[in-house]
Structure 1
């Protein structure tokens, strides 16, 4: 069977909604990434697969490929699996390579919440089941899995401190492709007394709840993508594979508890590959809400020492369709700094109760 590997990964800076990237449409965020990742092998690209959630509709991937100046022969595919769309795009590219459909793909996601033409979110679930907003659902997860506000705030503070430490050590610079003049995530423009912010923050989604604005992610703009290649082709073209795709899993849970959806996906993935949590060196799980991360860590017995070790969306923000690809980009660079751990894993939960988990082998 052919093997898929990731040989390059990049992301844009992440900007606040109506912030520094507010003037850029999704294809304008993605195009510089495609141009950079395809540099020198434009004629080898079989397809571009991009996740996008909040519009503008149409085939954003094709538009982005054309905007990037890729050959007209590169078709482009846009998919929507809500917050897991960017990770799903990379997963799909890996399977396309394994199945022999092609040898070289650019896959990821792009999101401009600032320019979205939609005033309201898409429906996640029918009325007969219930269709809670993600914040309300985060409170439902906190209630069901007994995650008090103190534990949520504790993780949110940990994420914040890790993110700022990584930023101050310039660890994000390799990940980021400068867009216009922007070369850093907007949230790093001003450091806050996060401990005080968490302490005074009040529940905002349900009466008597525990989820606050401080232990939730923000709504942001950004894009991220990876160059996914068949391993022998990558070697022949002079690329150094960093992550080798091993396997993946998608799970569905009750739409009231989307934050816990990564758990069954990870459990099934590990069981099928006869692995344990202890054998996974690094894990990136999207930080939409602290309640979600704490619940996932609790249910899977994941030590915080190997989970989101450079922080995540709680600090830097959540550009929906791009966030899953950002997880992979983070792993791509992080494994090049570390020697321990043969396997790494990226996972994300999304609206409607869907979890996606992808297992890679670190080749460094």
Structure 2
């Protein structure tokens, strides 16, 4: 069986909605990444797979290929698995390589909430089951797993300190591709008193038991990320150094009221099938849409917080929906190169509708 390896991954800076990327369409955010990753091997790219959630519709994958000036022979594909879309695109490319469909793919995700033509989100679930907005769903997760506001605030503060620490130590520099004049995440333009914000923030929903606040939730953002994925022997022949080898993945679904808990069964099944435990995984990235989600996953899976999102995440930097899963992989690729003893890394994300996706990688060291 052919083995899929990731040799490069990059992301744009992450911008606030109506912020630094307010005038860029989705294909204009994606195109610089495609040009960078395909540089020198343009004729060898079999396809480009792009995840996207909020529009504008059409085949953004193909549009991005054309915007980037890549060969007209590259088809381009767009997929939507809500917030899992970017990670699903990478997963799909890995399986296409394993199945022998091709040897070279660029896969990732993009979101431009600033230019989206849609003012309302898509439906996640039929009314007979219930179709909660993500904030209410995050509250449901907090209630189900008995996660307090204090626990959520503590994790949000930890994530904030980690994100700023990573930024100040230059850990984000290698993963970011400059777009126009921008080379820094917009949320990192100015430091805030996060502890004071957390104490001051009130629950968004009414009710004495509500715990989810604007301060322990992610914001709405723009951004893109993508990875260059090759068949392993092809990568070596082309002179690339493989960094991550795709091992396996799992997608699972839970009740649509609890999307934040959906990574839990996905991770459990993935580890069980590969006869691994949490102790065997050296680096774990779980998308930080809400503190309640990460805390629930950590508690239910017995994950030490030192293993989860050790360089921060979406609670501070932002969550450009379709791109976030690919941002997780980009973070892993760059960080494991600094961890010479790391063997396994895992990326996981939950999505609207109650879908959880987890992908397992083996790190490759010289």
Q: TM-score, normalised by structure 1?
A: 1.00
Q: Matches of 1:301 and 1:363 in 2, distance apart?
A: 26
Matched, 1:259 2:257: no
Deviation at 1:310, TM superposition (A): 0.3
Deviation at 1:206, TM superposition (A): 4.0
Matched, 1:315 2:316: yes
Residues 1-364 of structure 1: matches in 2 within 5 Å?
A: 1-208=1-208, 209-364=210-365
**CA deviation profile, 1:176-228 (whole Å, cap 9, x unmatched):** 00000000000001101100100110000342310000000000000000000
Deviation at 1:247, TM superposition (A): 0.1
**CA deviation profile, 1:264-316 (whole Å, cap 9, x unmatched):** 00000000000000000000000000000000000000001111000000000
User: Helix, strand or coil for the counterpart of 1:10?
Assistant: strand
Q: Which runs of 4+ in 1 moved over 6 A?
A: none
Q: Matches of 1:207 and 1:172 in 2, distance apart?
A: 39
RMSD over aligned Cα atoms: 0.5
| Unmatched segments (≥5 aa) in structure 1 | none
Deviation at 1:341, TM superposition (A): 2.7
* Contact 1:3/1:244, CA 8 A, preserved across alignment: yes
Q: Matches of 1:11 and 1:94 in 2, distance apart?
A: 19
Q: Matches of 1:152 and 1:267 in 2, distance apart?
A: 23
Q: Matches of 2:355 and 2:206 in 1, distance apart?
A: 23
Q: Matches of 1:346 and 1:157 in 2, distance apart?
A: 22
User: Helix, strand or coil for the counterpart of 1:151?
Assistant: helix
Q: Matches of 1:169 and 1:205 in 2, distance apart?
A: 37
**CA deviation profile, 1:330-362 (whole Å, cap 9, x unmatched):** 000000011223100000000000000000001
Q: Matches of 2:200 and 2:206 in 1, distance apart?
A: 17
**CA deviation profile, 1:152-180 (whole Å, cap 9, x unmatched):** 00000000000000001111010000000
Q: Matches of 2:296 and 2:24 in 1, distance apart?
A: 35
* Contact 1:139/1:206, CA 8 A, preserved across alignment: no
**CA deviation profile, 1:236-276 (whole Å, cap 9, x unmatched):** 00000000000000000000000000000000000000000
Q: TM-score, normalised by structure 2?
A: 0.99
* Contact 1:279/1:341, CA 8 A, preserved across alignment: no
User: Helix, strand or coil for the counterpart of 1:70?
Assistant: coil
| Unmatched segments (≥5 aa) in structure 2 | none
